[in-house]
Structure 1
Amino acid sequence: MTRRLRPLLCALLAWPAATWATVGVAASDSGAEVSICYNYGCASEARVRVHAAALRRIGARLAAARSAAQEREYLAEAVGGLYRVAATQTAVATDRAGNLLDEGADGRMDCIDHSITTTRLLQLLEARGALRFHRVVEPARRTRLILQHFSAVIEVLSVAERIDRLPPGEALAGCNCTEDGLVIGAAGEGDGDDRPGQRYVVDSWFVDNGEPAVVLPLAEWLNGGGPNVQ
């Protein structure tokens, strides 16, 4: 195996759930802290402070989403923005798309670093009520020949679950209801990309630090979908 091929393996291993679970996130009214991974295989970790003003801007942007598809678009931008914040406080500013462009640099991130960190960033937003159309689930793994690749994953919520996430008093504004108040459906329910239970990867490994993450249907990603980077 050549030295240049070795990073592409993206570590032939999985990791315990505790490494990506919400224990990596701490939030308060004054902002939040999240632990990020870098230098391949989460060899290095650092706490990043996200100020309340930045979280409010991201929250306002996500609140403007009117469909699950639109929320995914805004979420890709939000993840990129949070990585830019991390780049001002840690070495990850050097991270480039894939593995080869930043090989050997302090702050480089492989797919394990990205899948763990992006999951934590998504959980931070979810914990603050910023996700109305999706939930954060466990990272996914795909295997092609001997190579493995990992990514953060989100899942589309049902109408009932979306309404449960609305603030008190706003539930009726988020659904189509009969005169007696029973929910009979909502925009996007059952429509292809917005089908409840549909899963999408949020893959920041494909892009340079701070760029919007790549969001793809999980099935497409598992079949090798995504930009051609190494």
Structure 2
Amino acid sequence: MHRWLFVMLALLSGLGLADERVKVCYGYGCLVQADVRYSDGQLGDVRRLLFAAVDAAEERKMLALAIGRLYAWAGEQSDIHNDRGGNYADGGIPGKMDCIDHSTSTTRLLGLLAERGYLRWHRVREIEARNFAWLIPSHWSAVIEEKTDGEAARFVVDSWFVDNGQPAVILPLDEWKKGAGPDV
């Protein structure tokens, strides 16, 4: 009887520790989507990283690292390990990602973190575009917003600027809209 109870408890305790799956886009324009699995151990690492933050500014720093790690793990399971910052360093290799791929995938990753309660000082917002030529959107990015009682500051979480696995670039949305970010 005791063995049966032990087995049942072990099985039930494992139900809360499920892996998570996220679709990651690549191929430019989300042409291809890879189903990427994150283990509970990997997500626990991300949780510990984010929970080390003591305020919103620190959470953004940790979030940049967390997004880089999530992309690195996704690269172990898909062709996105080949992705390089910007659009021109990729060449014709499989796994290349444009800003549409990055903004979509990063928003999905941020949503996963939010659903698990890992974002304590930010909420995930809709993807934003910045316009340069003739008011046509020329670059897209994932966006987060500080949880605050007053006017909430918004930030882009832009992984397009960096090679796969590197920390995402996080900038104030208004600065990014004016063209801020690394020159790639």
TM tier, smaller: 0.7 to 0.9
- Equivalent residue in structure 2 for 1:156, among 139, 146, 149: 146
Output the TM-score relative to the length of structure 2.
Answer: 0.88
Which moved further from structure 2: 29-38 or 109-118? Answer: 29-38
Structure 1 partner of 2:7? none
Q: Following TM superposition, by how much is the alpha carbon of 1:29 offset from its aligned partner in structure 2, in angstroms?
A: 2.5
Matched-pair identity in %:
50
- Native 8 Å contact 1:133 1:157 kept in 2: yes
Structure 1 portions without partners, runs of 5+: 1-27, 160-194
3-state DSSP class of the match of 1:117? helix
Match for 2:79: what amino acid?
Answer: A
Structure 1 partner of 2:80? 92
Structure 2 partner of 1:212? 167
3-state DSSP class of the match of 2:38? strand
Q: In structure 2, what is the Cα distance between the partners aligned to 1:73 and 1:112? A: 23
The CA RMSD measured in Å over matched residues stands at 1.2
Q: In structure 1, what is the Cα distance between the partners aligned to 2:57 and 2:72? A: 23
CA offset digits 1:34-92 (Å, max 9, x no partner): 00100000000010000000101110111111110000000000000000010000000
- Aligned positions of 1:41-52 closer than 5 A: 41-52=29-40
Q: In structure 2, what is the Cα distance between the partners aligned to 1:157 and 1:50? A: 27
Structure 2 partner of 1:83? 71
Match for 2:170: what amino acid?
Answer: V
- Aligned positions of 1:214-229 closer than 5 A: 214-229=169-184
Structure 2 partner of 1:170? none
- Aligned positions of 1:1-230 closer than 5 A: 29-146=17-134, 148-158=138-148, 196-229=151-184
Structure 2 partner of 1:13? none
Q: Following TM superposition, by how much is the alpha carbon of 1:145 offset from its aligned partner in structure 2, in angstroms?
A: 1.2
Q: In structure 2, what is the Cα distance between the partners aligned to 1:138 and 1:103? A: 29
Q: In structure 1, what is the Cα distance between the partners aligned to 2:46 and 2:34? A: 22
Q: In structure 2, what is the Cα distance between the partners aligned to 1:31 and 1:77? A: 20
Structure 2 partner of 1:19? none
Q: Following TM superposition, by how much is the alpha carbon of 1:196 offset from its aligned partner in structure 2, in angstroms?
A: 4.8
Output the TM-score relative to the length of structure 1.
Answer: 0.71
Structure 2 portions without partners, runs of 5+: 1-15
